[in-house]
Amino acid sequence: MSEKELGQKWDRCLADCAAKIGAGLGLGIVFSVVFFKRRTWPIAFGTGAGLGMSYSNCQNDLRSHYLLYNTILKKQ
Amino acid sequence: MLRVCLKGANAAARQCLCGKVAAHPLQHCRRYTSAGDSGVSAGKIVAASLLTVGGGLGGTILYANWDPKFRSNVEKTVPYSDQVFGMTIGPPPPPPVIPIPKKPAKVEPLQISSVSEATKESKQPKKEKKAKEAAAPEKPPAVEEAAAPSPPPPPPPQTIEEASAEAAHILSAIGEVPSVPAPGTSDQTPAEAAPPAAPPAEAAAGECHECAHHEPALKERPAEEVTALLAAKDKAEQDTLASLSSTLDETLGSSANVTMAAIGAQEAALSAIAVHTQKLKEAMDAEGAPDKKSAQWRALEEALDQRSRSVDEAGAALLRAKDELEKLKAVINAAKDSKIDAARPQVLAAEENLHNMIVDLDKVVGKVQAAQSEAKIVSQYSELVNEAKEQFQKELDSITPEIKASWKGLGKLSTDDLNSLIAHAHRRIDQLNRELAEQRVREQIHIETALEQQKLEHQKALEQAVVTALEHNREEMRLEQQKKVEEVREVMEAEMRTQLRRQAAAHTDHLRDVLKVQEQELRSEADETLKNKMQEQETHYRRMTQEQLDAFTLDMNAAYARLKGMEESIDSHVIAEEEARKAHQLWLSVEALNYTLRTAGADAPTEPLESAAAAVRESCSDNEFAQALASALPAESLKRGVYSEASLRARFSDVRHLARRVALIDETRNSLYQYFLSYLQAVLLMEPQQVAPPASLNADDLDTFKLLSYACYSMERGDLELAAKLLNQLRGEPRRVAQDWLNEARLTLETRQAVSLLSAYANAVGLGTTQAP
């Protein structure tokens, strides 16, 4: 059903967002703790990167239909 | 006043046109003045600008007042200038009127005058004509009268319009044609009626009428009648001729007989008279024996009787002959009057005969008369002699009374007697001598008188004879002439006859030839007709036999055809029943298909229509149309089934919801921010849920929200098709969202259409196969 597609997309988007933000947060926390002496910026950076990635992914997913070339050519 | 208005207008114009423009220079001026005092004051600048502007405007207005073209140009280019112009110089002048040419007005009076002149001219000849008519009513009809005025030189003036006048006159004359002959004929008929109506006597008129009647009757006899009449006339002539000739012959014969009888009688009389005279003479002269004397006397008496008888007979016969001759003459005259040429020779012959007979009769009569006169003399002499004798006898007797008058007894006489006798005798002789001498003397006188008488009588007789001879001669001449005429006529007739005979011969030859030719022609014609008739008969006979054969074959064919027809009808019945069965089957299968459509659940599609469609295809295996329809069912419906309308409706609300939310998203706008905006729009925008879709969509209606409300309205009303059409107009993301729903709707619609077509077709076929009672 085409009407369910959008919902599915949103689901995916949300899930992806949650995952990415969580992952970014986690990685940020890890990196902040491990490499950057418990500064907050890696957490923000990670979260922001996660958010950004999820946003981008979400957007791409949502507009994937309108993109002209949406096949990823594999290396032969 | 005008100047004030002008100034006011200028101010208004300035304000309207260049309010803003004027504002700036003032500001610039103010800045300039405030920045540094320049020689030129603001007032001067303002006045100068005012003056230029006012002068320009005034000049424009004045020129516009003078030149309407410029005014219109300015009005066109500069807005609101027309109001300004209207205020200052009044409304624009009206467009100039095109001048009408005055030529028609000039032409008309000329035409009218010519027409009037023409009528005048025509009136004059009309009057002339009428005068001529009155003068000579017996003129010939109108055409000639119309022509009559033209040959004689017309007295009216020789104008240029004469030709037209004459044309008009001729036209008027032609127009008057029906009226003109009437007075002419009416004049003529009374004139003619007058003379015959005034005859002096009715009889003449009657006669005229009769003649008139007869003449036409005579004139009008046809040729056949004429020939018939001629033939009748000829026949009548022939008849009269025959009758005439017969009568002529009869009368001729009878008259000839009678004349011959008369002549015979006359001759007999003549002979009798001669005999008698002779006898008398003898009796007188002879002094024979008394026996003989007595015998002579007796014979004389007999002869006298005979003579008298014969004279009577002759007279009677003469009368009869004369009567007959008169009759013959009458007949001849009648024959002459009848004017028949053929009878002429007969008539002539009859006339001749008549003449001859008359002549003979006259001759004989003359002879008889001469004989009679002689006989008279002789009889007178005899009478005298007898008287003397008687006297002598008486004397003798007186002397000798004893002796009777018988001479026989002479011997017995005595001498005395004898002497007395001789003395008597002597005395007698003396007496007689004396008498004789006297008589001689008297005789001379008597002879002279007798001679004179005789001469007179002779003269008379001569005259008579001359007259008769003349008449006879004349008659003879006439007869000869007529005979000659007849001969000549005969000769001519003979000549003509020969010529006619020649002509007749030629004619007969020609006729023979023609007849021969005709005979040949007729023979050939007859042969041809015979041949044709034979052929006709043959063809007729052939045709009849052929017809019989044809009729028989026709009957056979008809019977065979009927048999075939019956068989075919039975077969067709079978076929029709088969067809009906098939139609029923088709209908049943289509009904089954229809039923399967209804088996759709709330959200589940129907059963796959494969089997039902297969059944339909089976039942209509021979029908292309049904096959096409059956195969037109979409594959999806066959495999998977179709959704019901109710499920689609239920789904539609979801689709609508979603479509509302992504209304802004399309190819160009599809970022997440747009999504957010679209969501916001959907939340904030309030549109009626259901709006009746218009009959035709225009560009405004292609908005998503409107389309959705139209589609919702249609869905609620059950119009799936319209809803699908409307949703088909969605663009962008809403379209993508509604795509599946659209497909399903399309499927359903297709299937339903195909099935409805099939059912309609099945119904039609079923109806078609029902046989009429």
* Contact assignment for B738 to A3 by CB distance below 8 Å: yes
Amino acid at position B693, single letter: P
Residue A67: which region, alpha, beta or left (left: phi > 0; alpha: psi -120 to 50)? beta
The pLDDT, as a whole number, for residue B682 is: 93
B655 in reach of chain A (CB within 8 A): yes
Residues of B in contact with A2 (CB under 8 A): 736-741
Say if residues B583 and B563 touch (Cβ distance below 8 Å): no
Could you give the angle at the alpha carbon of B305 between the alpha carbons of B374 and B407, nearest 5°? 85
**Distance from the B700 Cα atom to the nearest Cα atom in chain A, whole angstroms:** 25
Please indicate whether, in this complex, the C-beta atoms of B741 and A3 are within 8 angstroms of each other: yes
| Whole-number pLDDT of residue B11 | 58
What are the φ and ψ backbone dihedral angles of B668, each rounded to 5 degrees?
Answer: -85, -35
Q: Which token pair is B537? A: 């008969």
Question: Do the chains contact at A62 and B675, CB–CB below 8 Å?
Answer: yes
pLDDT at A16: 92
| CA distances (Å), origin B60, targets B78, B81, B94 | 12, 10, 20
Query: Residue B767 belongs to what H/E stretch?
Result: helix B733-769
Q: Do A63 and B670 touch (CB under 8 A)?
A: yes
Nearest CA in chain B to A5: B737
pLDDT in tens, B189-243: 444 444 444 444 444 444 444 444 444 445 566 778 888 888 888 888 888 778 8
Give the whole-angstrom CA distance, residue B436 versus residue B450.
Answer: 18
Helix B645-661 × helix B733-769 angle, to 10°: 160
Q: How far is B632 from chain A, CA to nearest CA, in Å? A: 25
Cβ within 8 Å, pair B740-A59: no
Averages of pLDDT over each 10 residues, chain B, 773 residues: 60 54 49 55 93 93 89 88 85 71 48 46 47 44 42 46 52 46 42 42 43 49 80 83 80 78 78 78 66 73 80 81 82 74 71 80 80 73 72 70 53 74 84 86 81 82 84 86 88 90 90 94 95 94 94 94 92 83 82 81 73 79 80 82 86 91 86 90 90 83 88 92 91 88 91 87 80 63
Across chain A, what does the average pLDDT equal?
86
Given a contact cutoff of 8 angstroms between Cβ atoms, the answer to whether B340 and B240 are in contact is yes
Q: Is A5–B737 a contact, with Cβ atoms under 8 angstroms apart?
A: yes
Q: Which of A3, A58, A66 sits opposite B672 (nearest CB)?
A: A58
If you search the block for the tokens 């007898």, which residue do you land on? B386
pLDDT of residue B680: 95
What's the rounded Cα separation, in Å, for the pair B594 and B754?
10
Write out the DSSP string of B553-616: HHHHHHHHHHHHHHHHHHHHHHHHHHHHHHHHHHHHHHHHHHHHHTT--SSS----SHHHHHHH
- Whole-angstrom Cα distance, residue B66 to residue B89? 10
Query: Of B179, B178, B172, B174, nearest to B122 (Cα)?
Result: B172
Q: Which residue of B has its CA nearest to A56?
A: B672
Number of A:B CB contacts under 8 A?
36
Chain A: nearest CA to B693, how far in angstroms?
Answer: 24
- Residues in chain B, how many? 773
Query: Best mutation site among B733, B742, B743 for testing chain A: the one with the most A CBs within 10 Å?
Result: B733
Q: Quick one: pLDDT at residue B530?
A: 96
What is the rounded CA–CA span in Å between residue B487 and residue B477? 15
Please tell me the pTM assigned to this model.
Answer: 0.37
Q: Do A62 and B738 touch (CB under 8 A)?
A: no
User: Which residues, numbered 10 to 29 in chain A, qualify as contacts with chain B under a Cβ-Cβ cut-off of 8 Å?
Assistant: none
User: Which pLDDT score, from 0 to 100, does residue B720 have?
Assistant: 92
Flag if B740 and A3 touch (Cβ within 8 Å): yes
Query: Is residue B347 less than 8 Å (CB to CB) from chain A?
Result: no
A68 touches chain B (CB under 8 A): no
Furthest-apart CA pair in chain A: how many Å?
A: 51
Residue A15: pLDDT band (50, 70, 90) is very high
Give yes or no for a contact between A34 and B689, defined as CB atoms under 8 angstroms apart.
no
Extract the tokens encoding A45: 């950076």
Task: Report long-range pairs for B757-761 (Cβ below 8 Å, ≥24 apart).
Answer: B757/B629, B758/B590, B758/B593, B758/B616, B758/B626, B758/B629, B758/B630, B759/B587, B759/B590, B759/B591, B759/B593, B759/B594, B761/B586, B761/B590, B761/B625, B761/B626, B761/B629
State the Cα torsion A48-A54-A55-A60 to the nearest 10°: 150
At residue B146, the pLDDT reads 42
How many CA atoms lie within 13 Å of B541's alpha carbon, on the beta-carbon side?
A: 5
Cross-chain residue pair A59–B672, CB shorter than 8 Å: yes
Contact indicator for B711, B726 with CB cutoff of 8 Å: yes
Question: B322 and B463 in contact (C-beta within 8 Å)?
Answer: no
* Residue to test with chain A: of B647, B658, B708, most A Cβ within 10 A: B658
In this prediction, residues A13-19 reach a mean pLDDT of: 93
| pLDDT computed for residue B524 by the predictor | 96
Select from B603, B675, B728, B731 the residue whose CB has the most chain A CBs within 10 Å, as the one to mutate to test that interface. Answer: B675
Q: Is A3 on the interface with B (CB under 8 A)?
A: yes
Q: For the segment B357-414, what is each residue's pLDDT rounded down to a tens digit? A: 888 878 877 887 777 777 777 677 667 767 777 776 777 677 665 555 455 555 666 7
